[in-house]
Amino acid sequence: MPITPSEQIWMNGRMVPWDEARIHVLTHTLHYGNGVFEGIRAYETSEGPAVFRLTPHIERLFRSAKIFMLDIPYSVDDLIGATKETVRVNGLPSCYIRPLVYLGYGEMGLNPLPCDVDVSIAVWPWGAYLGDEGIRNGVRMKISSWQRHDPNAMPPAAKGTGMYINSQMAKVEAVKSGYDEAILLSPQGYVSECTGENLFIVRDGVILTPPISAGALEGITQDAVMTIARDLGYQVRFDNILRSDLYVAEEAFLTGTAAEVVPIRSVDDRELGEPGPMTRAIQEVFFRAVRGEEDRYKEWNEVVA
């Protein structure tokens, strides 16, 4: 998806004009893929732009960094402040936010420990990741022939830049085959997640989502949706899901910061039909919550002003 530039990018403590936010071609992360990032959204609310669950996102960034032993030279509070500042100076009512922690210029070779750890935060306007039509009527999914990472090869709990080669292989396969998005299975054969989203199904009226042990990222939207679902009176739990469970699900949907909450129409050409009532109810509350229209979830709206 093309980027619409904004004005300023936060780089290592200072604001840099968009076009000048450049790095050297010998930047370590560019070669070996060891970096961590976040994807966050700010939404327009009656109190101005509010970042949806900013604190848990920055905390997850630090957990990802800890897994790879990247020593971020800032505190959680520093990066919360820097993110709000970046949203503020760019003057966008709503935007996507991309904090990135990467190994900079100055060292080559595989040992990352001597490298400088650099941090940037960029924001830009980003529309519906899987399309407005996807949010309304659902997306068509394909089970990938690529597996999710084995946790002893690459740790799925870390949102690492290089981890996403796996997602890209699955995405390309799905798109080239005429589907919207891919679902990856774990090395043990359980449903894990999508290329950049967590997945939910409804089975016998109960909402299920794969556990982290099936190779899923600990999604912040997933967590919000589990809370919303419980508050709507639904039963929801982590459970292992088989490929065939997807084919016969009563409803299914995916969640992510970029994607938001998107119904699943079909999996491997097994039709699930129109988005179901539980999916619709959750979508409705979610889109109200991100805009600060649900009092009970007010603490999720971290106001920028």
Q: Which is nearer to ligand PPE, 90 or 115 (CB)?
A: 90
What's the closest the beta carbon of residue 66 comes to ligand PPE, in angstroms? 17
Q: Is 251 in the site for ligand PPE (CB under 6 A)?
A: no
Which of positions 187-206 make contact with ligand PPE (CB under 6 A)? 193, 196-198
- Contact of 267 with 210, CB cutoff 8 Å: no
Q: Is 255 in the site for ligand PPE (CB under 6 A)?
A: yes
In which residue are the tokens 């039709």 written? Answer: 271
Burial (CB < 10 A; 0-12, 13-18, 19+), residue 174, is buried
Q: How many CB atoms lie within 10 A of CB 143?
A: 18
What's the closest the beta carbon of residue 77 comes to ligand PPE, in angstroms? 20
> Would you call 159 a catalytic residue per the annotation?
yes
Q: Which is nearer to ligand PPE, 58 or 115 (CB)?
A: 58
Task: Tell me phi and psi for residue 152, to 5 degrees.
Answer: -95, 5
Of the candidates 79, 82, 170, 220, which one interacts with ligand PPE according to CB under 6 A? 220
Number of residues that bind ligand PPE (CB under 6 A): 16
What's the closest the beta carbon of residue 111 comes to ligand PPE, in angstroms? 27
Of the candidates 39, 99, 263, 292, which one interacts with ligand PPE according to CB under 6 A? 39
Q: Which is nearer to ligand PPE, 45 or 221 (CB)?
A: 221
What's the closest the beta carbon of residue 33 comes to ligand PPE, in angstroms? 14
Of the candidates 209, 221, 279, 283, which one interacts with ligand PPE according to CB under 6 A? 221
Q: Is 275 in the site for ligand PPE (CB under 6 A)?
A: no
Q: Which is nearer to ligand PPE, 115 or 191 (CB)?
A: 191
Q: Using CB under 6 A as the criterion, what x/- string covers residues 113-152 for binding ligand PPE?
A: ----------------------------------------
Catalytic residue among 66, 84, 142, 159: 159
What's the closest the beta carbon of residue 259 comes to ligand PPE, in angstroms? 6
Of the candidates 217, 241, 249, 282, which one interacts with ligand PPE according to CB under 6 A? 217
Residues annotated as part of the active site: 159
Residues of this chain that interact with ligand PPE (CB under 6 A) are: 39, 167, 193, 196-198, 217, 219-222, 255-259
